[in-house]
Amino acid sequence: MLQAYYKSNENSQLSTLTNLEEIQEAFHKAAGQTDPHCRVWITLEAATETELKWLEQTLKLHPLVIEDIVNRNQRSKIDEYDNYLFLVIHRPLEEANKEIEWEELHLIIGKHWLVTSIDEDSTNLKAAIQALTKDDKLFTKGFGPLVYRLCDSVVSAFFPIIDDYDEQVDRMEDQVVSKPEQNILDQLFRVKSNLVEMRRYLAPQRDVFRTLLDHSDGYFDEQARLFFRDIYDHNLRVYDMLDTLRDQVGNATDLYLSVVNNNMNQVMKRLTTITTIFMPITFITGVFGMNFGHSPQVEGDPGWYFWACIVLIAFVAFLMYLALKRMRLL
């Protein structure tokens, strides 16, 4: 679906256009700069082949731009052409206990015109665009505020996800110390995998905003460039938070393995102590249980006293073990 929002002059209201001929006429007025305040914003949502062909011919777009619009799942990037910029950025979307989904936003920025392209299932980006179309004064002085609001909605979406992961990792660290279980390790691996994926999307996106900040002369005024610097700073902050959280997940994983190994060592220590206590008894029963013709201290009456002493020694040794255990010497 293709539609446009048109503002003929500084004081006019925002008009919605759906007819291709009307959109083409509005674009020529904006591109021709008959009025410096004339602006046209074209929105694409699951565009058809006819609409894309019309867009390529009317706006004189490079075939590679049309190819990128058709073939989604592009890497975040910014391409500079003769009279426009082409941006690809991604907005994260995560449901509880699921993998991160991504909404892809394409922007084609001209001096007096703008094109935005999204998928039909990009509900969050669609809501952001619908909210911006209700502001008549948003691009009176250019598309800088509009592009800023769109980019800011993309970067701001990272913060609640990272905060949620931070709380999850803190909670799992407490569980690792108190009661380490296998499902905690599975959750840590899932969080780490999602953080790596977010970093993979965010790293090129950081370069996009830096390039947009350095190469936006002629498209945005100086005031708009200050806002883009703010977006770039937010992107850096998110990137640093991801690195910190990834290190925290790694530390929690190491802590889990350390606690599990320590518990295993405690179990082995107890088993070794028990084995040591019963080793003399096992030796004695093994010796006197052999099938000899004559066994001393067994056939005569003194044999009963001998075995009584052995049992007493074993009982005293067990009491000593309990005492040492209570004093935390074992």
How confident is the model over 138-170, as pLDDT tens digits?
776 678 888 888 898 899 889 988 888 888 888
Q: Do 275 and 198 belong to one domain? A: no
Co-location of 318 and 226 in the same domain: no
Each residue's pLDDT tens digit, 228-260: 888 999 999 998 998 888 888 888 888 888 878
Tokens of 93: 């979307």
236 plus 291 within the same structural domain: no
Is pLDDT at 5 greater than 60 in this prediction? yes
Residues 15 and 46 in one domain: yes
Nearest residue to 123 via CA among 45, 71, 51: 45
311 with 216, same domain: the answer is: no
Quickly state the pLDDT bin for 86 (edges 50, 70, 90).
very high
Q: How far is CA 61 from CA 57, 83, 109, 172, 212, in A?
A: 7, 10, 11, 51, 19
44-71 pLDDT tens trace: 887 788 888 888 888 888 999 889 888 8
Q: What local confidence, expressed as pLDDT, does residue 294 receive?
A: 56
Domain count, the chain: 2
The three-class DSSP label of residue 5 is strand
Residue 282 is assigned to a structural domain of this protein: yes
DSSP string of 181-240?
-HHHHHHHHHHHHHHHHHHHHHHHHHHHHHHHHHS-BTTB-HHHHHHHHHHHHHHHHHHH
- C-alpha to C-alpha distance for 103 and 83, rounded to whole angstroms: 27
204 and 279 both lie in a single domain: no
- Per residue in 269-318, pLDDT (tens digit) is 878 777 777 776 676 667 666 655 555 555 555 655 666 677 778 778 77
Q: What global pTM score does this model have?
A: 0.74
Same domain? 9 vs 127: yes
Start-to-end Cα distance in the chain? 75
Give the separation between CA 159 and CA 148, rounded to whole angstroms. Answer: 17
Residue 37 within any structural domain of the chain: yes
Task: Identify whether residues 194 and 292 lie together within a single domain.
Answer: no
Identity of the residue numbered 252:
A
Residues 194 and 135 in one domain: yes
Nearest alpha-carbon partner for 221 in 148, 132, 329: 148
247 part of a folded domain = yes
Mean of the per-residue pLDDT values for the chain? 80
- Strand positions, DSSP E, the chain: 2-7, 15-17, 39-45, 77-80, 85-94, 100-109, 113-118
Say yes or no: 254 and 286 in one domain.
no
Cα 30 to Cα 154: distance, rounded to the nearest angstrom: 27
Distance in angstroms (rounded) separating the CA atoms of residues 313 and 138: 92
Residues 218 and 289 reside in one and the same domain: no
The position carrying tokens 């911006």 is 132
CB atoms inside a 10 Å sphere around CB 194:
18
Cβ pair 146, 109 in contact under 8 A? no
What range does the domain containing 293 cover? 270-326
In a domain, 265, yes or no: no
Nearest to 3 by CA among 34, 37, 46: 46
Q: Do 239 and 292 share a domain, yes or no?
A: no
**Percent of residues, the chain, with pLDDT higher than 90:** 5
Is residue 50 situated within a structural domain?
A: yes
- Judged by DSSP in three states, 42 sits in strand
